[in-house]
Chain A
């Protein structure tokens, strides 16, 4: 397929990124890309376990487990990994989302083998000691309490719970405070042994060496980790929503009202995913907050410029199963929720009614493709982007995703809006700030 090259990027440096890939006997799949502009390597290990693998009573377990994988193995006692990586000046962390748990470190090139050894070790050998579970429990409660201080999080968590009747996506990721408090060491360990195995994971590495060399080193490091029986978690598909749902969150702990909308939408592997990504850019651009970019977007012009809202956002996430297309407006003081909700719905209807014109589409397309191009110039982000496309099934490479985005037409965007923004699959949330002491 001839690549559209919309951005005018010389072909030799544009998305020459089909990764070198190998599946080991253990089932572990390794993807490697070469990036030569800095003497670093970014290593990412992705496990197919997240909020989707939990049930009421164990919500937050995958995220809790993520914390415990920094608490030591027999070979690398607690603190070893942190201090080793810190000593290298590494950029390292981990995250859990609805679908996956992921660990990464970006290290100087000559420390790559050590990073591999750390990751291969904790794939099966984490201790998850009972006393460490107790110490970390309060850290995770603290993490949750920090989120609870944010009205946008509170409203979003409630909206997610209301929008899903059956699918575990409704439970979120961090878990309820009561579940976090009740989590047992044995439960965590069982979750670990069930889901952390080479045949339930894949590795992405991007860095300053030949791709086949990076891949070979990774294969060597993970060779001693054997295949395990992996039990698929039972998963309820989400039945179609039969009508609009509404919710209100009232708290004194916020000053500005918020409107959020969530529409059931498609999975990342759906052919419409690229058009939905374009739809999000058309609605809110890629900026947000005080950013100077994204101010030509539909919602910025209709809500922020019109002094209804201080900030707007639109998001289509790349997920394994159908999730939500979400919109959020943080309102100007004194504006009614209804006015903002109506303005949002009006803009969604406009996009569903007619294709956007050529000049606007050119901006949307440019922003969309730049959102692929820019992060690819940072080695850590290039590895993340490739891994997230693979984890969700959106595309087998960044170039393939770029091609999908470049192929989106104004009619595709209109059709995506028409299919998505329907009343019966809509959930509407209002955050209403209350006076101090009213809660």
Chain B
């Protein structure tokens, strides 16, 4: 059992601490509700630009001095924007935790957000966007989102954003987003590793105590429903493999059916070797090197997608096989052992995940960020074990439609349909 100690600071930052005796490092994860879901409507890319701009210097030192300080600790760190949160994640030596937290706090609480920094990250983002145009996985993902989500929806675009928005975002817009979204309320700091909990709380308070509370209106999105098959193949020249994304709209992380959906996902396609789709597509037929599915955990209906890399000659067959396996699940043709394996794997991963401070922090973060309850990690294995075949049939029937889905293919030209 993971022993989590929690505190909520006065301004709203929630801190969860796990001491793992014997380790020399600490994994620190600060998740702020500043991901795509909270991005300004119609301005995809602003969240990531803002996050990247935070790393271009603070009000007390420029970007070079900040990098010198971070590298001087030997710490690892990155700041990524996901569908729900902007996440600052890193690892430092236990004795450096205070200095490491101060550096993180400097970037999020008192960033410089100057023109020079914005122009630097804008140029980097535009280069990344250019590169993504020739990357089959990126093209397939982008295309799938455009098929699955309506204009204006925060998940219609990849987190890197829309090229026009990246080109035109102003410094005022970036500052406004920082003011609105980078806030202690709703943010969670998880620390796991070789630490003393009381000292960790004190260091966190010292680093983030001045982070001013700010309110913002709650964002809600109307429920969506795919109403037909949406399919598009995009030719990316001079490639040898096609990347395929087949998917549906998932469930909010807080939906009480989410655990059932996770077990359904595992039975269906989550794991290349343990799930039905991978067993047939890769192991029996040799059609793909990778095939897996993910269900996104966010505040709204994130993507629930199957992804695979397939030779163009085999694309249609691989897709047909995926649907054949899905149909079996929807029809209740689920072997007892497949269900048992899915449940065992998800429960077992909780135990094996404890081998690293980063693994522990990730488990704790999921529960804290989505307010799943202080006893979530205790309940979760029981909830997984309680999922039945009927539950899976119900979830697959309701959410994994055979005639309402989005399908994107990116790569060489496909052979004519036979």
Taking Cβ atoms with an 8 Å cutoff, the residues of A that contact B are: 7-9, 13-14, 35-40, 42, 78-79, 82-83, 86-91, 106-108, 134-143, 145-146, 148-149, 251-256, 285-287, 289-297, 301, 305, 307, 310, 330, 332-333, 359, 362-363, 366-371, 373-374, 376-381, 433-434, 436-437, 439
User: How many Å from the CB of A330 to the closest CB on chain B?
Assistant: 8
Q: Which residue of A lies closest to B411 (CB)?
A: A149
CA distance A35 to B71 in the complex (A): 28
Q: Which residues of B contact A7 (CB under 8 A)?
A: 24, 74, 93
* A366–B355 touching, CB < 8 Å: no
Q: Are A142 and B72 interface neighbours, CB within 8 A?
A: no
Contact assessment for B70 and A254 in the assembled complex, using a CB-CB cutoff below 8 Å: no
Contact B237 A83 (CB under 8 A): no
Known: A291-B78, A433-B134. A377 touches B23 (CB 8 A): yes
Closest to A135 in B: B286
Smallest Cβ-Cβ distance to A304: which chain B residue: B124
A-B contact pairs, 20 of them (CB 8 A): A38-B354, A83-B273, A88-B348, A106-B352, A107-B352, A139-B287, A142-B241, A145-B311, A148-B240, A148-B241, A295-B71, A305-B64, A366-B71, A367-B74, A370-B76, A371-B74, A377-B356, A380-B355, A434-B238, A439-B238
For A380, the chain B residues whose CB sits under 8 A away are: 355-356
Residues of A within 8 A of B74 (CB): 7, 363, 366-371, 373
- Look across to chain B and name the residue whose beta carbon is closest to the beta carbon of A376: B24
Q: Using A146-B309, A290-B80 as known contacts, say yes or no to A333 and B355 having CB atoms under 8 A apart.
A: no
Task: Check if A88 sits within 8 Å of B344, measured CB to CB.
Answer: yes
- How many residue pairs, one in A and one in B, have C-beta atoms under 8 Å apart? 245
Tally of B interface residues using CB under 8 Å: 86
Judged by a CB distance under 8 angstroms, whether B321 is at the interface is: no
Q: Which of B171-179, B250-258, B276-284 interfaces with chain A?
A: B276-284
Chain A residues lying within 8 Å of B194, measured Cβ to Cβ, are 13, 377
Pick from B284, B289, B353: contact of A143, CB below 8 A: B289
Q: Is B217's beta carbon under 8 Å from chain A?
A: no
> Which residues of chain B (118-138) have a CB below 8 Å from chain A?
120, 123-124, 126-128, 130-136
B89 CB to closest chain A CB, in angstroms?
Answer: 10
* Given contact pairs A7-B93, A37-B22, A89-B349, A362 touches B354 in the complex (Cβ within 8 A): no
Asked whether, in the complex, the Cβ of B77 is within 8 Å of the Cβ of A40, the reply is no
A107 closest partner in B (C-beta): B352
13 more contacts with CB within 8 A, not counting A106-B355, A135-B283, are A7-B74, A86-B345, A135-B285, A137-B286, A141-B311, A145-B241, A290-B80, A292-B90, A293-B77, A332-B123, A333-B130, A368-B74, A370-B75
Residue B10 lies at the interface, judged by CB distance under 8 Å to chain A: no
Q: Does B25 contact A (CB under 8 A)?
A: yes
User: A89: which B residues are within 8 A, CB to CB?
Assistant: 344-353
4 pairs of A and B residues whose beta carbons are closest in the complex = A89-B348, A370-B74, A253-B238, A86-B274
The CA of A235 and the CA of B72, in the complex, are separated in Å by: 43
Our pick among A9, A255, A291, A369 for the contact of B133 (Cβ within 8 Å) is A255
